[in-house]
Amino acid sequence: VSALWGLLRKETLHILRDRRTLTVLLLLPVLQVVIFGYAIRTDVKDVRLAVVDPSPDFATLRLRGRLTGARVFRVVAVLPDAAGLERLFQTGAAQAALVFAPGFADDLGRGLPARLLVVTDATEPNTGVTIQGHVLSVVQAFERELPGRPGGVRIVPEARLRFNPTAESKNLFVPGLMAFVLTIISCLMTAITLTREKETGTMEALLVSPLRPWHIIVGKVAPYLVVGFASVVGVIVEARLVFDVPLRGSVTLLFAEGTLFILVSLALGVLISARTSSQRVAMTAALLGTMLPTMILSGFIFPVESMPRVLQYISNVVPAKWFVAIARGIMLKGVGLEYLWTETLVLVAMALVLLGAAARSFHERLE
């Protein structure tokens, strides 16, 4: 055991000595929380609206007033004709345009259809749909209140956003961010530190020392576990204090599931190091094989249901996908194991298979 302590001390010193890597390890999560809190959002607000009004009259002015009164819109240009519209859209100066037909108020007064064209920049489809929805709802409300209209039938939708009532993207990212940070630290760093011993040839020295194989793994991995846990706690505390992200479920369960996920990532890191011979290859493999899938295929940023079927199937082998589902369940929905047992079982199975494989590949190297 004292040999194990020695190894642990050595590894800790290694980590503390490489200041640049340590800085990145500690800074990355903190910065990510800020980025995701303020930048990774999808809410549509402050829409830049261009108005094409060939013959301004009381009706067009009132409708324009309604739109600017809705606070979602900001009129950036009022044009007499549609000629300059395309340029406004191409430079991004306008995101939507309201094009009135000439004689709008006259048509309304005479009972003829008053013509209106709503143009939206649909380059980003969801933003386009959302902006159009906002414009149309204002136009429809305006139309309903026109004098001389009989009342129609209306089904009134009462919308409720469950689990994230303010629809704030920041509440969604923290669980994903935890998966991300844990993957970097437990998988990437483990793979690198083990391959470094291989590359420098010191692995042989470790193997002939009285240390048992599991001593080596524990000794190499435990310090990174501490760093990993520290960053996760940091992420949660920062998210709670700065962004007021909810944590509705059991903290104990969250940490237990976190540990499970760490085991899976560690096993993956050990496996990668067993199959590769240089730090560079290990790093590339870890980045492409675990980091990218964690970011892209876990549902962290992009919902899994939106992907094509093939990618949805592939996403099932990404451990982070299951952990993100668990962490969101605990933090946002406040549910316990009774709803999360499937995801937990998948992670347990992954942990068992991967740890077994990792232990085997490590033993093979002894011969």
Partner 1 sequence: VRRILFLARAEVLHIVRDRTTLAQVLVVPIVQLLVLVNAATFVIRDTPTYIVDHDRTSASRGLVNRLAASGHFRILERSASLSRANDALLEGAATLVVTIPRDFESSLARTGRAPVQLVVNAEKGSAAGIVLSYAGQILDRYSGELGRELHPAATIAGGWLHPAATIAHPSPGRGHPRIETRTRGWYNASLDYRHYMVPGILVALVTLIGTLLSAQNIAREKELGTLEQLNVTPLTRGQFIAAKLLPLWVLGLFDLGLGLLAGKLVFDVPMRGSLLLLFVAAAIYLLVALAIGLLISTGVDTQQQAMFVTFFVLNVYLLLSGLFTPIDSMSPWMQAVSQLNPVRHFVTISRAILIKGAGLDEVAPPLLILCGFAVVTLTLAVQRYRKRTA
Chain residues 253-282 in contact with partner 1, contact rule CB under 8 A = 279-281
Q: What is the DSSP string of 11-61?
A: HHHHHHH-HHHHHHHHHHHHHHHHHHHHTS-----SEEEEEE-SS--HHHH
Total of residues contacting partner 1 (CB under 8 A): 105
Considering the rule CB under 8 A, would residue 201 count as an interface residue with partner 1? no
Q: How far is the CB of 230 from partner 1 (least distance, A)?
A: 18
> Does residue 128 interact with partner 1 by CB under 8 A?
yes
Sole window of 8-16, 125-133, 207-215, 262-270 interacting with partner 1 (rule: CB under 8 A): 125-133
What's the number of CA atoms in the CB half-sphere (13 Å) around residue 167? 7
Among 83, 155, 241, 366, binds partner 1 (CB under 8 A): 155
Stretch that binds partner 1, among 64-72, 241-249, 293-301, 348-356 (CB under 8 A): 293-301
Single out the residue of 5, 16, 46, 65 in contact with partner 1 (rule: CB under 8 A).
46
* Long-range contacts, stretch 10-16, CB < 8 angstroms, 24+ apart: 10/219, 11/193, 11/219, 11/220, 11/222, 11/223, 12/223, 14/193, 15/223, 15/224, 15/227
What's the rounded Cα separation, in Å, for the pair 225 and 221?
Answer: 6
**Stretch near partner 1 under the rule CB under 8 A, chosen from 2-10, 88-96, 207-215, 351-359:** 88-96
Q: How far apart are the first and last CA of the chain?
A: 24
**Residue number with CB closer to partner 1 (279 or 355):** 279
* Residues in region 26-45 near partner 1 by CB under 8 A: 27-28, 31-32, 35-36, 38-45
By beta-carbon proximity to partner 1, the closer residue of 102 and 356 is 102
d(CA 77, CA 149): 31
The H or E element containing residue 76 is strand 73-79
- Between 86 and 204, whose beta carbon lies closer to partner 1? 86
Q: Name which of residues 95 to 114 contact partner 1 (CB under 8 A).
A: 95, 108-109, 111, 113-114
Amino acid, res. 224: Y
Q: Which helix (H) or strand (E) holds 67?
A: helix 58-69
83 scored as a contact of partner 1 (CB under 8 A): no
Q: Which of 129, 205, 251, 345 binds partner 1 (CB under 8 A)?
A: 129
The phi, psi pair for 146, rounded to 5°, reads: -60, 140
Q: Two tokens at 105?
A: 């108020």
Choice between 255 and 339, CB closer to partner 1: 339
| Cα(65)–Cα(71) distance, integer angstroms | 10
- The interface with partner 1 within residues 302-341 (CB under 8 A) comprises 302-303, 305-308, 311, 325, 328-329, 332-333, 335, 339
Whose Cβ is closer to partner 1: residue 127's or residue 186's?
127
Tell me the window of 152-160, 214-222, 233-241, 348-356 that interacts with partner 1 (CB under 8 A): 152-160
Interface residue with partner 1 among 50, 52, 67, 172 (CB under 8 A) is: 172
Query: Quick one: 71 or 160, whose CB is closer to partner 1?
Result: 160
What is d(CA 14, CA 44) in angstroms, rounded to the nearest whole number? 47
Pick one of 3, 77, 82, 139: the residue that binds partner 1 (CB under 8 A).
139
Q: Name the nearest CA neighbour of 53 among 110, 97, 101, 87.
A: 101
The candidate with the shortest Cα–Cα distance to 44, out of 129, 149, 137, is 129
